[in-house]
Homo-oligomer: A and B are copies of this chain.
Amino acid sequence: MNEFEARIRESFGRQTMMQTLGAELAKIDAGRVTILAPILAGSLQQHGAGHAGLAFSIGDSAAGYSALSLMPEGAEVMTVEMKINLMAPAVGDHLIAEGRVIRPGRRIMVVAADVWSVTADKRKHVAILQGTMIPV
């Protein structure tokens, strides 16, 4: 396990929101982090699909940790702003959020994430996020 993976797993473990949502780190590469989450009975909107806040939360964390993977040891990451476009209802077996760094920078990191809903035989693109992270 490389150095940034240890840092990311440690930080993720302190994000109690991720535990509440049942989310887990699925894949960690430099500049690219994937989070997987079930669509729990407690994460729904009024029509029975995953709440926008579920897709946002795992997309934001995946994007944030993709940024952290490129930051120097000892740094922590904070979301400055994040925008989400919701493209389809979050229904299926679970969600996958893939975060990535679009442009690393010392002061500002531009990040993005895709959120997919997954069933046994297909996956559907349910949301895209674009935002800004800073080291703190």
Contacts and interface: CB of A to CB of B under 8 A. Distances in A.
Q: Report the copy number of this chain in the oligomer.
A: 4
Contacts of A54: 17, 53
Given A81-B86, A84-B82, A130-B85, A20 B46 contact: no
Interface in A88-134: 88, 102-103, 105, 107-108, 110, 112, 125, 128, 130-132, 134
Contact of A128 (B17, B40, B107, B130): B130
A61 B52 CA distance: 9
A44 B20 CA distance: 9
A130 B81 CA distance: 10
B15 A46 contact: yes
